[in-house]
Each structure stands twice: as structure tokens, then as C-alpha cells.
Structure 1
Amino acid sequence: MTVTTSGQPTDAQMPGSDVLRVEDRGPVRVITLNRPDKLNALDTALTRALSTALTRAEDDSRVRAVVLTGAGRAFCSGADLSEFPSLTPDEPDAVLERAALTAGLQTRMQRMGTPVVSAVRGAAVGGGAGLAIAADMTVVGTDLKFGYPELRHSIVPALVMAGIQRQLSRKLAFELISTGRLLSATEVLEHGLANRVVEPDRVVDEALVIAERWAAVEPRALRAAKDLFYRVADLPTEAAMRAGQDVNALMRGFRR
């Protein structure tokens, strides 16, 4: 169900979709993975619904920030393994479609101009771990279990590998993917993968504080800052400075 704080449907509603909840709290859109009985495992329906919801948030000028969270006791337990028997070499189109959908979702948040903060409690593993740290900022609960246990299921964490490499040191990254060790909330904070650690029942409230601060900023300036932040990450210094100069000139028109 998609509702505003007044309880009325919004134009973000996706009829027939029970796997995702979308709620507007003023200029902040809260998107909730809603498969709590499956620990919010990412099946095709949820992956597609989340991708659509993020696109709609990006396209809605009233939305200044997004909070991404999960219903129940987990943020996201990764890919729904029950779908894997149908994703075999005998069904190449289905395999390619699902891979493209997952890869797009893992990169979607950083490509958005609208900033996203993830509010993470309980398990965030595999693709769920990738989603948690793909957000621009991350708030985690003290009950966090974070990691990449795919090899235990004879699966390669292929579509989250780019994010792992960019956000963890190589030694720690290889330890996590090769042994399946899970990090605690304290370790995640120490390794720079989270911005805040709070009690589990406060993760959404803390994420809303961050999102509301973003919402108070001139949206064109924040979008330009976010775009430049990620764009210069892989540029040589001189190219990064040129990009900064371009935005410096552009921002003269942002003042209210």
C-alpha cells in the first residue's frame, strides 16, 4: 500500500504491488521493502518494484530525499534463492533479464540526483548488503549482521562486486566474500560503511533526520553536488578540478 501521512494514495502508488510500501512524509519519500516473512529477499517482483519506485521518486519534483528501509526484523537477506531453479542456462533470456535488473538496482541510487539514506536493521547480506551501502548515507541498528555469504551457497557475489571493491579495503573485501564472515554494527561503522549506529527501532527516525536536512537544501545545488561527488571519484586530479570548475560556474544560478 502506498500512502501519504494523511492516509491518501499518492501518484507513486503501484497498484497490485504488495512487496513494496511507499509513503511520503512531506518532501521525504520512505520506501519500505515489504516481504518480512522472507526477510525482504529480492525476488524479481520486488527488484522490479524497487527500481520503479526509485525512478518515480527521482522524477517527482516534490520528493527532495528518499529513505530506504525494510519491514520486519531484517533489511534484506539478498537474492531470493527460491527463484534460482528457474534461472538456468536453459533459460538464457530470463537469466540475462534478471542480471540486468539486479545490476541496475545496485547502481541506481548513486546515479539518482535525489539523495538516498538507507535505514538498516537486522540482516543485510548479499544483495541486501549491496543495497545498504549503495545509498549515499547509511544508518544501521545495533542488531546488524552485514556480509556476503554467497559462496556458502555456491554463488559468486558478482553483481555486488563493484560496490564491495569501492567501499571496502581489498583485504577485508576478500575476507568477507571468501569466508562469508558477517560484520557487526560496530565493525561496519569502524570500516566507514555506515554513518550512524542506533538502536534497531530508531533506524528510520535517524534516517529521517538526515533526509529532512537534505530536503531543506536548495535541490538543484544538492543534485549538482551529488553528481559531482560521484563523478570525480574515478577521475584524475586535473580532470576532477575541471569538472569542479564547471559546477562552480553553474552554481551561480542556484541561489534563491
Structure 2
Amino acid sequence: MTHDFKTLLVTHEGPVLRVRLNTPDTGNAVSGLMLDELLAVLGALDDDTDIRVLVLSGEGDDFCLGGDRSEFPELLAQDAGGLALRALGNKARRVCDALATTDVVTVARLHGGVVGAGVGLALFCDLRAGADTTRFRLPELGLGVPPAWGGIMPRLLHEVGAAKVRELILTARNFDAATAKELSLLHTVVPEAELDAALARWIKPLVRRSPTALRTAKLMLNAYGKANQLADASLFDAELLSSALSVAQHTRRG
């Protein structure tokens, strides 16, 4: 991949593609531009049959401190009805869908703060490893918006379970890596200095797998995971988020 990205660092190491969120001054906040660049990377993945694994990580002190809220007033100024915000929300949904459904195995390397949209990006990866100092939070209710980013709610319910998700969403509390592992948000927790070694223990056997077998296994896991889901209400996430932000903005002005 030869793109000159502004918000990502992308390195191709044989069968492993490493994608690092690279706006550390903002805590790697997820902006519209970052979503565009992630879509470009993920859209090209299945055309490169040599890649077996994608590792998603963050530059600086944190993996990702959430969505770039500084964009919201500007988008609402462009269109008070929220069309631009809905477009941003739909873009987030496409990124998360691509992480979950791409043929390659996606691995999240987590450290520092993992907040809001950062939890969403990590959650849609197949495997998640975190440093023992990593901190997590789903702050949406505290910010006056619903937890409607990228289709995160059904994924959380499936991976973590309804009772535990209810408590995390309603309290918006911080929780640590050990708790995240208990909740199945993390598959493994190690000291940060050992994080790359932990990922290597996954990557080494994965790159030897048949690409057809990996692709089929992912298709099966995704299909059976949705077998009991009668409808996906997260399709309305972009609409819900834009409506909530529009109301909040008008209330502040009033």
C-alpha cells in the first residue's frame, strides 16, 4: 500500500499489515479523515492475497480516546438537519463492518486509554491484546449522546453480555485491563513491554494458515454469531447519533 496517509502509519511486513492510528496530539481521536483512510486500507485488503493479519494499534500514550468531537459543531453548521453527521456515522459503521468481515484476521494492540469510538474499533477486531495498564470507558451517556457509533451495541452485547453491558453503558465508569479480560473485551493482558511478544504468539501460527481456511472460518464465526439476531437495530446508529447531537447543539444555543 503506497498511500501517503495523514492520520495513519501503515507498514507492510510480509503477510502482516500494521496500521497505527497516528494523531497522538488528539489521543488518536477518530476523525472523518481517519475513517476515510481506514476505509482505504481496509478496502484494499482483500485484493492483496499475501496479507493474512492486520494489526491495529495507536501511536503515543493512548490507543484511542474516542471520536473527534471538535468536528461536530462544524458539521452541524454545514447542515443543521444532521445530514453531514449521519454521513460520518455511516462511515464509522462501514469501517467497523470491514474490520469484522475482511478476509484477514484483525488484531487490536491496546495500550493507554481506550475510550468510546476506540472501544468500537478494538471490539470489531477478531483478537484483542492489551497492556495491563490499559484503561477503558464508554462515556457516551455522560456526554449526552446515545452509544450509537459504528454498530457498537450489538457487538458489545454479543461479546460481553447484556447484564454487564447495561452496567458499563449506564454508569460510563472507567475499568481496567483485568476487568476488560473478565468481560471478554480483551483476550489477553500482559505488561506493556511484552505486548508485541504476545501478538507474535498469535501471528506466527496465523500466517501459516491456509488463506481459504482462514476466510471460511471468519465467515462461519460471523454467520453463526448473527444466527440468533432477528434484526440489527444498529443500522439506525447514524440517525440516532446525528439527531441527538443536533438536539444537544440547539439546546446549548437556546
Give TM-score, length-normalised by structure 2: 0.83
1:83 aligned to which of 64, 71, 84 = 71
Q: Corresponding residue for 1:171? A: 163
- Does the alignment pair 1:134 with 2:105? no
Identity level (%) = 28
CA distance in 2, matches of 1:21, 1:120: 16
Q: Corresponding residue for 2:184? A: 192
Runs of 4 or more, structure 1, over 3 Å off, are: none
Q: Corresponding residue for 2:213? A: 221
SS across alignment from 1:162: helix
CA distance in 2, matches of 1:36, 1:59: 30
Structure 1 segment 115-126 matched on structure 2, within 5 A = 115-126=105-116
Using the TM superposition, name which of 81-90 and 41-50 deviates more: 81-90
Give the aligned residue type for 2:137.
G
- Does the alignment pair 1:211 with 2:203? yes
- Does the alignment pair 1:41 with 2:29? yes
User: Which ranges in structure 2 are unaligned for 5 or more consecutive residues?
Assistant: 229-254
Q: Deviations over 1:83-103 (max 9, x none)?
A: 111233615331221011011
Q: Is the 8 A contact 1:149 1:176 kept in 2?
A: no
Alpha-carbon shift at residue 133 of structure 1 (Å):
1.7
Paired residues, what number?
224
1:230 aligned to which of 212, 217, 222 = 222
- Does the alignment pair 1:98 with 2:94? no
RMSD: 1.5
CA distance in 2, matches of 1:34, 1:205: 22
Q: Corresponding residue for 1:65? A: 53
Q: Is the 8 A contact 1:140 1:197 kept in 2?
A: yes
Alpha-carbon shift at residue 122 of structure 1 (Å):
0.9
CA distance in 1, matches of 2:2, 2:26: 22
Q: Corresponding residue for 1:51? A: 39
- Asked which structure has the greater RCO (Cα within 8 Å, sep 6+), the reply is 2
SS across alignment from 2:175: coil
Give the aligned residue type for 1:47.
L
